[in-house]
Amino acid sequence: MRKISIYYLSVLLILVTGCSNQDNVVIIDGDKIKNIELVNNFYSNVQNNESSTLVIENRNGIEGQKSTLTYKFDGNNISYEVVEPKENKDFVITCKKIEKENKKNITSYNLTKCENTLFEKDSLSIIEIPN
């Protein structure tokens, strides 16, 4: 009986840990965005000069390919790292600011004053959220 209880406790622990991990990730799947509030929390933390991390998982890639992006603010800079797909892993861009722009039906979050970009502009879009 004791072995069965330990087994069920272990399974429950794995399920709870696995589920709570997704609660800390913004998930874009089709036209649905889960955990949108995490984007504004990250923005607020950066504005208040508090260290913060934002993870966005986009499931709308080419042929169903998933991409995972991590944004980290260390109190000075915001680093943008591609975690998945693995061929782009370790590609890091550093930016100085984050800006929030409210348009008619969309709130945009953008990184600005960026370095190490592959693009000719010095800003990158994080996410656009329908209002």
List pLDDT tens digits, range 105-114.
Answer: 999 999 998 8
- Exposure of 109 by Cβ count < 10 A (0-12 exposed, 13-18 middle, 19+ buried)? buried
List pLDDT tens digits, range 46-70.
Answer: 999 999 999 999 988 666 678 888 9
How far, in Å, CA of 59 to CA of 71, rounded?
A: 17
Place of tokens 């722009």: 101
Angstrom CA distances, 107 to 30, 87, 103, 118, 119, stand at: 18, 30, 6, 25, 23
How far, in Å, CA of 44 to CA of 88, rounded?
A: 28
User: Is 57 in contact with 51 (CB distance < 8 Å)?
Assistant: no
Across the range 97-117, mean pLDDT stands at: 89
**The model's pTM:** 0.75
Average pLDDT of the residues of the chain: 79
Domain ranges of the chain: 24-130
List pLDDT tens digits, range 68-92.
Answer: 889 999 999 999 887 765 665 567 7
